[in-house]
Amino acid sequence: MLKRIRFLALYGLSWILFFQLFRIIFFIYHFKKSLDLGGALLVQSALHGLRMDISFSGYILMIPTLLIAASSIKWKWYQNFLHWYSAIVAFFMVLLTIFDLELFRAWGFRIDATSLIYLKTPKEAFASMGAAPVFPLLVLLILLLVLVIKILFTIQKRTIPYFSGSSPVFTALLFIFLAAVLVIPIRGGFQLAPMNESAVYFSNKSFANYAAVNVPWNYSRSLLNEGFDKHNPFNYFPEDKAKATVTSLYHHGIEHEQLIDTTNAPVNLIIIIWESFTAKIVEKLNGVPGITPQFDALTKEGILFTNMYASGNRSDKGMVAILSGYPAQPTTSIIKIPNKTVSLPSLPREFRDFGYNTSFYYGGETEFANMKTYFLQQGFNTIVDKNAFNGADMNSKWGAHDHVVLNKFLTDLDQKKQPFFTTLFTLSSHEPFEVPVKTVIPGNDQEHLFLNAHRYSDASIGEFIKNAKTKPWWKNTLIVILADHGHPLPEKPASKPNEFHIPMLWLGGVLKKKNITIDSLCSQTDLAATLLNQLNLPSKTFNWSNDIFMTNRTSFAYFAFMNGFGWMRPNGFIVRDNIGGNITEKSGNLKPEEVDYGKSYLQASFGDYLKR
């Protein structure tokens, strides 16, 4: 009997140690962030994470514990079963660990069930990881898998064959009891609340908290509870109070500064959504010099918005923020659920209903992240994607490069019936940061590849604007250039607000003023109401959009990332971790109640998402 207990103890302990090993590998893979934390916080992260490691090891141990009750007489079948069980579990644990290493670098949070939506379009999903060191990661996967399986098989070989005969009834009762006891470590102890992320979050440093999380536990939890589709997990205040707080931030009226000449209305509208276009690479916004010379030059011909923030950190969230004026969710994405997105307000639909010809252009796969369904619901008459391009033009892992798509776009615009509302989404500045031209920004590390890709996108957009100025439709057209989201790169200066800070530029023949900057704090979600009001179209359905030029406007910006949010005001900001409840970053002279404004916004916006 003791030999059986000894086997289970060794088996469970092995998994606890494996999870600590996986955490050490995570530290090494993200060594720059680890160095920033320092040794003391790294050790604390591992120790706090131990509790969640034990919890998930308990889950793994549950089946071997229950089945060992039947090994009182014969044990060979048990050993054969454990071989298969251990190999399968090891494969999935190691696979999640390896994927998480790279996805954390790209996304900034531990892998969870939100990754599944991207697997519906596997080619695009793998393209997004094209910049990853695939071969070293594959080698690491194999080595880890061999190591884990070898140790588990050795434990089984040296213990299971030595099981001695025992009373079937006593054995069954004992190990059923032990299986029941496993519930204690699984739930994290005897406390009222079962194991959750808060149990391991301990620091105001986000990376330390993320590292403490057990990846398989996190993935399994999100898979079982994806989207929090029944209950709002962000209940901080009575619902009416949270809603009233948010309502007080918006002032819907008709008085606003008019910067668009609508004398020859209707005005054509072009929105260019620039992939990962962070303010950190725009010299005009104190970013890295020499990356966007065309954009910088064009600011003298238009209106530059210097203080805009993306609502989310993924393209699917950016699309909804821009086209529906709807804020991002911190734990899911509304675009995944057509029954919800169909109820969202829609810029293209508003323009279509007023007689505009609407279209959307993208050189890649529009099915990616379920975006095509959303675009169709939004009211685009025409969707042009990779299927419209020749095979020779599909020379990016994502599809057709930016200059190819922009050239077709320009040609098609000449044939379009006016007025038109059309949107173009670039792709070349997405990972793996491939470009079809000679390298301008040398360097093979991620940051320089990122900068070089943006230099190419900048040149492509600059050439498009140059040619567009020669077209008859230019004089009655407004062009808006903005990002779908920001980016962690370049890594310095490192802060959440910097990751979400994005540029926006208005160009075209209908501008009343040029070579000016708008420094008002604003969000991607504010574009919808701003455009509609400028063009004298109704904007009342865009309840989450705050007209940038509205008289007596309350200036604020909200952004969401995986289980956290940022709250920006003109005099400062806070960044909050939703799990631990910690303020991880802050600046300026915000009043204490501003935290409640951010929490109310999170609660009310997620509550609205649930009700749709």
Backbone dihedral angles phi then psi of residue 12, each to the nearest 5 degrees? -65, -40
Domain containing 14 equals 2-224
**284 and 423 inside one domain:** yes
Residue % of the chain over a pLDDT of 90: 71
Q: CB atoms < 10 A from the CB of 78, how many?
A: 20
Q: Which DSSP state fits 586?
A: E
Beta bridge partners of 359: 382, 422
Q: Choose one of 184, 209, 224: the last residue of a domain.
A: 224
Two tokens, residue 146: 């061999």
**213 and 145 inside one domain:** yes
With cut-offs at 50, 70 and 90, classify the pLDDT of residue 174.
confident
Q: CB atoms < 10 A from the CB of 331, how many?
A: 21
With cut-offs at 50, 70 and 90, classify the pLDDT of residue 372.
confident
Domain membership of residue 354 (yes or no) is yes
Calpha distance 509→478 (Å, rounded): 7
pLDDT tens sequence across 13-23: 999 999 999 99
Q: Choose one of 224, 241, 259: the last residue of a domain.
A: 224
**188 and 288 inside one domain:** no
Domain membership of residue 148 (yes or no) is yes
Backbone dihedral angles phi then psi of residue 277, each to the nearest 5 degrees? -80, 85
Calpha distance 178→65 (Å, rounded): 7
Torsion of CA 117, 120, 121, 123, to 10 degrees: 100
**575 and 512 inside one domain:** no
Beta bridge partners of 559: 566
Identity at 347, one-letter amino acid code: L
**285 and 210 inside one domain:** no
Calpha distance 529→524 (Å, rounded): 11
**234 and 326 inside one domain:** no
Task: Flag whether pLDDT at 401 surpasses 70.
Answer: yes
- Please tell me the least confidently modeled range out of 161-175, 543-557, 581-595: 161-175
With cut-offs at 50, 70 and 90, classify the pLDDT of residue 236.
very high
The per-type count for the chain, helices as H runs and strands as E runs, is: 21, 13
Calpha distance 93→95 (Å, rounded): 6
Calpha distance 130→124 (Å, rounded): 10
Apex 103 CA angle, 451 and 231, nearest 5: 120
- Please tell me the least confidently modeled range out of 199-208, 264-273, 432-441: 199-208
Beta bridge partners of 522: 308
pLDDT tens sequence across 286-332: 999 999 999 999 999 999 999 999 999 999 999 999 999 999 999 88
Beta bridge partners of 256: 550
With cut-offs at 50, 70 and 90, classify the pLDDT of residue 1.
low
Return the pLDDT at 227. Answer: 46
Domain membership of residue 368 (yes or no) is yes
Q: Which DSSP state fits 392?
A: G
Number of domains in the chain: 3
**357 and 497 inside one domain:** yes
| Cα radius of gyration rounded to whole Å, the chain | 27
Taking the model in full, what pTM does it have?
0.81
Q: Report the SS3 class of residue 435.
A: coil
Return the pLDDT at 228. Answer: 46
Cα–Cα distances in angstroms (integers) from residue 373 to residues 194, 312, 370, 399, in the given order: 38, 20, 6, 19
**149 and 278 inside one domain:** no
Q: Which residues contact 453 (CB under 8 A, 6 or more apart)?
A: 428, 429, 430, 433, 434, 435
Return the pLDDT at 271. Answer: 99
Return the pLDDT at 493. Answer: 76
Q: What share of the chain is helix, strand, coil (3-state, %, to 5)?
A: 55, 10, 35
Domain membership of residue 611 (yes or no) is no
Return the pLDDT at 131. Answer: 66
Q: Which DSSP state fits 307?
A: E
Calpha distance 572→599 (Å, rounded): 16
SS (H, E, C) 482-502: EECCCCCCCCCCCCHHHHHEE
Judge whether 44 and 154 are in contact, CB under 8 Å.
Answer: no
**481 and 381 inside one domain:** yes
**533 and 570 inside one domain:** no
Return the pLDDT at 129. Answer: 61
Binding residues for substrate: 430
Give mean pLDDT, residues 562-571: 95
Alpha helices in 215-302 (DSSP H): 215-224, 239-247, 293-298
**88 and 199 inside one domain:** yes
Return the pLDDT at 5. Answer: 86
Q: CB atoms < 10 A from the CB of 582, how many?
A: 18
Domain membership of residue 383 (yes or no) is yes
CA–chain centroid gap for 443, Å, is: 26
Judge whether 42 and 27 are in contact, CB under 8 Å.
Answer: yes
Return the pLDDT at 75. Answer: 65
Give mean pLDDT, residues 209-213: 90
With cut-offs at 50, 70 and 90, classify the pLDDT of residue 477.
very high
Return the pLDDT at 215. Answer: 95
Calpha distance 577→562 (Å, rounded): 9
Judge whether 419 and 356 are in contact, CB under 8 Å.
Answer: yes
Return the pLDDT at 278. Answer: 98
Q: Report the SS3 class of residue 295.
A: helix
- Please tell me the least confidently modeled range out of 39-48, 164-173, 514-523, 527-536: 164-173
Task: Flag whether pLDDT at 50 surpasses 90.
Answer: yes
CATH number for the domain that contains residue 466: 3.40.720.10
Mean pLDDT of the chain: 91
Q: Choose one of 555, 575, 592: the last residue of a domain.
A: 555
Q: What is the DSSP string of 545-566?
A: ---TTBTTPPP-EEEEETTEEE
Domain membership of residue 612 (yes or no) is no
Binding residues: 275, 430, 484-485
Calpha distance 315→374 (Å, rounded): 13
Closest CA to 581 of 341, 236, 253: 236
Domain membership of residue 218 (yes or no) is yes
**49 and 192 inside one domain:** yes
Query: Catalytic positions, please?
Result: 315
Domain membership of residue 277 (yes or no) is yes
